[in-house]
Structures are given as structure tokens and as C-alpha cells.
Amino acid sequence: MEDENSYTPPAVWKWDSESGGTWASINRPIAGATSEKELPVGKHPLQLYSLATPNGVKVTVMLEELLQAGFSGAEYDAYLIKIGDGDQFGSGFVSANPNSKIPAMVDHSTDTPTRVFESGAILLYLAEKFGAFLPTDHATRTECLSWLFWQMGSAPYLGGGFGHFYKYAPVKIEYCIDRFTMETKRQLDVLDRQLANNKFICGDEYTIADIAIWPWYGQVILNTVYEAAEFLEAHTYENVNRWANEIQNRPAVKRGRMVNRSFGPLEQQLHERHDASDFETKTQDKIEAVSQ
């Protein structure tokens, strides 16, 4: 890679070299499928194709919260999409999400199967389908959706900006880290002020706004993504800490974080989820113990 101060962009950018870094091999400047590969379909109406990154965790937490609340129609099959191996470019996945990013969901309970992509759209779809975790009062619903869309617009600065340049970039570029740290800390302060007067993001009720925001901002504060809590002085956001810890302890959140997880402690990894009992019997520690 060239020295950061020596690069002059050419008149027309060309895709002729890898940029380096953790995700270099999956980055492409074009969309569409690269291989023919159908998606598996299990026995439940809801089929999820995902990975336990923060965007994926939003949906598995939502599904587990729905089941915890007694909505048995939210039973689902979750299949692992290994984005490092390029599974998101298979033809079946691209049919479910033309944007080739996890999470993608297909609802087979409708007359013709309904595809839903973008984590925020999936949360809203499920909230409306089951009438849960979305306030019905118009003013509170509007506030909840404002925070849901705030998350969708803000997290790319945290993930694609701060997380990328702080953790994954092959060189540590002060300009980029400064720019995105500034914005990340500003966003954490936005949340801290909101949570100073609210138990949850939009009041007393736990909603899809919390479910969307926690996997990103809650996990940064709890130091479970990017290992940047000290750098960001995470302890200073006292209200976000209180909220992040409370949500972390919800049983559905504990389960949701395990689904489609292919990293971290083996007992926390449930690569595929087809039944509630899978949490007891199909975690990777148990699967690998049997196969030895």
C-alpha cells in the first residue's frame, strides 16, 4: 500500500488491486450473484439467513423476544451465511437480498413468500406482523421509528467508519480514526442524554428501537465489539452503561446473540437454529465433542 500522503486519485478509479485488511477478499465494486446456490428452507414459516454480527443479532434477538413473549408463530429456522466465504453472493441469497448483505429473511406464511432485507425493515416487518415491540400510540410509535431510523443511519459511522479504521484497516490512519471517533463519541452522547430521562430508548417500553441500537452501541459500551471501550472512555456514558447492562441480561438477548454465531467461545455458538431445544443440544462445544 502507498504512503497515505502520496496518493493522488487517478481520473478514473480502477478495480485492479485488493485494498488489504480483514474484509479485502469479499469487497467488490459490482453487485449480483457470482455462483448458483439455492438457499435451504426449513419447517417453520420464517427463514433467516444471517450471521451474528450486530446487524444479524438485531433480528435473532427480535425473534427470541417474540418467542419469549409467547408468539409461537415467530418460530424460525436460522441458517449461517459465512460472509468471509462469500455465501452472500450465491444466487439464492441474492434473490432474498439483492444487496448481498446479512441479515435476510423470507416469510413463507404469506400467499407467496415475502422477502425482507435490511435489518431495520425486518424489525419493523416482525413488529407489525405480531403487533409487538412497537408502540401503538401514534406519538410514541413515531418516536420509536425515529430512533430506529437514527440507528440505521448512524451505525455505518460506528461500524464502517470507526470500527473499520480502528480495528480492521491494515494501517492505522490518524485522520480516519479521529474523524470517526469524534462521530462515534457524539452518537454515544446523543444516546446518553436520551437515556438520562428514559428507561429505554423511547420511554418505559422496550421496543424495536432498543433491539436495533443495543447490538451496536450497547456492545461497544460492553466491550464485546471492537475492543475499544477504553479508547472511547465507555465508562463515562453512565446512562448507556445502565441500559446496555440491563438489556444484556434479558434471556432472549442471551439466546439471540448465540444464533448464527461462528466466533467466540464454542458454548456460545449456535451455527443453525431450528428449534428452541437447539440452545441446549446443538451449540458447537457439544457438536464438536460428539464428532471427536
Ligand X SMILES: N[C@@H](CCC(=O)N[C@@H](CS)C(=O)NCC(=O)O)C(=O)O
Whole-number minimum distance, CB 193 to ligand X, in Å?
Answer: 24
How many positions of this chain bind ligand X (CB under 6 A)? 11
Element (H, E) at 136: none
DSSP alpha helix (H) spans, 134-229: 138-156, 174-196, 208-213, 219-221
Nearer to ligand X, 154 or 194 (CB): 154
Choice from 100, 187, 260, 283 touching ligand X (CB under 6 A): 100
What's the grid cell of residue 204? 418505559
Distance, CA of 231 to CA of 182 (rounded, Å): 12
DSSP alpha helix (H) spans, 4-90: 54-68
Residue pair 48/57 in contact (Cβ under 8 Å)? The answer is no
Nearer to ligand X, 103 or 135 (CB): 103
Choice from 39, 65, 66, 101 touching ligand X (CB under 6 A): 101
Q: What residues from 48 to 67 belong to the interface with ligand X (CB under 6 A)? A: 53, 55
Which x/- pattern over 62-91 shows residues binding ligand X (rule: CB under 6 A)? ---------------------x----x---
Task: Determine if 102 is a binding residue for ligand X (CB under 6 A).
Answer: yes
Q: What residues from 233 to 252 belong to the interface with ligand X (CB under 6 A)? A: none
List CB contacts of 126: < 8 A, sequence separation 6 or more.
Answer: 59, 62, 63, 66, 74
Choice from 119, 154, 194, 269 touching ligand X (CB under 6 A): 119
| CA Rg value for the chain | 20
Question: How many other C-beta atoms are found inside a 10 Å radius of the C-beta of residue 128?
Answer: 11
Task: Determine if 219 is a binding residue for ligand X (CB under 6 A).
Answer: no
Side chain identity, residue 194: Q
Sole window of 40-48, 98-106, 235-243, 256-264 interacting with ligand X (rule: CB under 6 A): 98-106
Whole-number minimum distance, CB 115 to ligand X, in Å?
Answer: 13
Whole-number minimum distance, CB 117 to ligand X, in Å?
Answer: 7
DSSP alpha helix (H) spans, 169-283: 174-196, 208-213, 219-221, 238-248, 251-258, 278-281
Task: Determine if 260 is a binding residue for ligand X (CB under 6 A).
Answer: no
Q: What residues from 164 to 183 belong to the interface with ligand X (CB under 6 A)? A: none
Task: Determine if 132 is a binding residue for ligand X (CB under 6 A).
Answer: no
Task: Determine if 209 is a binding residue for ligand X (CB under 6 A).
Answer: no
For residue 264, give the DSSP letter: S
Q: What share of the chain is helix, strand, coil (3-state, %, to 5)?
A: 50, 10, 40
Choice from 26, 176, 190, 287 touching ligand X (CB under 6 A): 26
Task: Give the binding site for ligand X (CB under 6 A).
Answer: 26, 53, 55, 83, 88, 100-103, 118-119
